[in-house]
Amino acid sequence: MTELSGGPALPQERRLVTPIPGPKSQELLARKAATVANGVGTTLPVFVTRAGGGVLEDVDGNSLIDFGSGIAVTSVGNSAEAVVRRATEQLAAFTHTCFMVTPYEGYVEVCEQLAELTPGDHAKKSALFNSGAEAVENAVKIARAYTGRQAVVVFDHGYHGRTNLTMALTAKNMPYKHGFGPFAPEVYRVPLAYPFRWLTGADNCAEQAAAQAIDQITKQVGAENVAAIVIEPIAGEGGFIEPAKGFLPRIAQFARDNGIVFVADEIQTGFCRTGQWFACEDEGVVPDLITTAKGIAGGLPLAAVTGRAEIMDAAHAGGLGGTYGGNPVACAAALGSIETMRELDLNAKAKRIEEVMKGRLAALAEKFDIIGDVRGRGAMIAIELVKSGTREGAKTPNPEATAAVAKACHAEGLVVLTCGTYGNVLRFLPPLVIGEDLLTEGLDIIERAFGTL
Ligand SMILES: *Cc1c(COP(=O)(O)O)cnc(C)c1O
């Protein structure tokens, strides 16, 4: 696997030589506890020294299978060859000028790529930032400047970041918002079409949820006051919830009919993660603005707002930007990352990962009745856990079993993450370049973990 990197010849294998975490990681963990703020948590405290392809290597010499990609970031694999090559060249040439002071080509090239890759063939422009939250904040700024309106509509189970405005846009209190208010005003939350938990059944979900959302917007906010509707095409932190088919197009149409800017937050779903360049393509939805980050630059911090030129141009000169936004090294990494996605056809790889994972997980759901739902697209797959005997009825969330399975996987050297409003979702986000043998081995570990409950 020469196209994978992480340093020379990083073996693509799981290898456990100590308990997880090992003694050196434990030592570092003590140093972390002494000096890093408690608020900065850690899912799996092994300290990493090298990573690439589908594995992470730690300070104790263990090699773990990666089903997390640093939260959907290293889709092209860690230290992917083209990312390292381009970022290294850029590092040697210059590290920073500030694009707002003296510009450089890489920034423009990234915006050209974004215009080409995002849905729709209208004229598009972009602005680059450092983090997903910053991109979402700027999408709201741009929508307000364009519409002259203030209100922002978001959805149940939504996650949009940790800054003040994006905390307000985020649904879940703990851990994202608790004690951190007051939050930004003029944010309104409406129902999301969550098929597994829709009280009158999945078949009614899209239509009823859309009707409720639209009713709340028109009656409680007033469509003419709404600047933007911001939605994740698949809710990420909220539990990998795929809105019932038909919901997204209906909401996008409502936005269009009412002069509201429709913003797709594709920070987690974008850049081949779901088997398409962007998840909203699945239902042919063309957003007015799209926010991207995570997978865009192979691990370097970069984010973007891309959208209709006339909307993007509504903010006055000097109104958008930031010292580091579109840093030249991050832009070079993004170009390397996009090159890798094209060359290795990572959309096809994501679809293959879905096929392998869903096949295995569906069989697992037959065996274990605490698996309430298997869902997701591409290499963004999740299982939602419920209490035994409630799958066909109350669907009582089972965060305890979710934590126990995750813990058992970690102990066996498999990095998995949890999510969900009820903390009862195991989510799998392998790098798209992971080998099929590692993918299968990871699934074996998950199966064994359920067996230990
Ligand atoms: C991660 C995420 C964000 C926030 O991105 P940061 O880079 O962590 O600020 C926003 N929206 C979605 C959908 C995300 O998954």
Q: Please check the confidence at residue 233 and state whether its pLDDT lies above 70.
A: yes
Q: What is the spatial distance between Cα 76 and Cα 95, in angstroms, rounded to a whole number?
A: 23
CA of 294 to the centre of ligand 1 (A): 7
- Tens digits of residue pLDDT in 122-132: 999 999 999 99
Residue extents of the structural domains in the chain:
23-79+345-451, 83-343
Q: Is the CB of 158 under 6 A from ligand 1?
A: no
Q: Is the CB of 442 under 6 A from ligand 1?
A: no
- Tens digits of residue pLDDT in 210-231: 999 999 999 999 999 999 999 9
- Tens digits of residue pLDDT in 265-318: 999 999 999 999 999 999 999 999 999 999 999 999 999 999 999 999 999 999
Across residues 8-17, what is the average pLDDT?
A: 90
Which pLDDT value is given to residue 81?
97
Q: Please say whether the beta carbons of 66 and 56 come within 8 A.
A: yes
Across residues 126-152, what is the average pLDDT?
A: 98
Q: Are strands 417-419 and 425-428 parallel, antiparallel or unpaired?
A: antiparallel
Q: Is the CB of 268 under 6 A from ligand 1?
A: yes
- The topology under which CATH files domain 83-343 is Aspartate Aminotransferase; domain 2 (3.40.640)
Among 176, 268, 300, 305, the mutation site with the greatest number of ligand 1 atoms within 8 A of its Cβ is 268
For the entire predicted model, the pTM comes to 0.97
Which pLDDT value is given to residue 5?
55
Maximum C-alpha span of the chain: 63
Query: Under CATH, which architecture does the 23-79+345-451 domain have?
Result: Alpha-Beta Complex (3.90)
Instruction: Assign 352 a pLDDT band (cuts: 50, 70, 90).
Output: very high
CA of 297 to the centre of ligand 1 (A): 14
Q: What is the spatial distance between Cα 278 and Cα 427, in angstroms, rounded to a whole number?
A: 19
Average confidence score pLDDT of the chain: 97
Domains 23-79+345-451 and 83-343 share a fold: no
Across residues 85-100, what is the average pLDDT?
A: 98
Q: Please check the confidence at residue 201 and state whether its pLDDT lies above 90.
A: yes
The DSSP secondary-structure symbol of 235 reads B
Across residues 334-358, what is the average pLDDT?
A: 98
Q: Is the CB of 308 under 6 A from ligand 1?
A: no
Which pLDDT value is given to residue 9?
72
Q: Please check the confidence at residue 1 and state whether its pLDDT lies above 50.
A: no
The continuous run of DSSP H or E covering 330 comes out as helix 328-343
Across residues 178-205, what is the average pLDDT?
A: 98
Q: Is the CB of 66 under 6 A from ligand 1?
A: no
Q: Please check the confidence at residue 2 and state whether its pLDDT lies above 50.
A: no
Region at 20 (left for phi over 0; alpha for psi -120 to 50; beta for the rest): beta
Share of the chain above pLDDT 90, in %: 98
Across residues 251-278, what is the average pLDDT?
A: 98
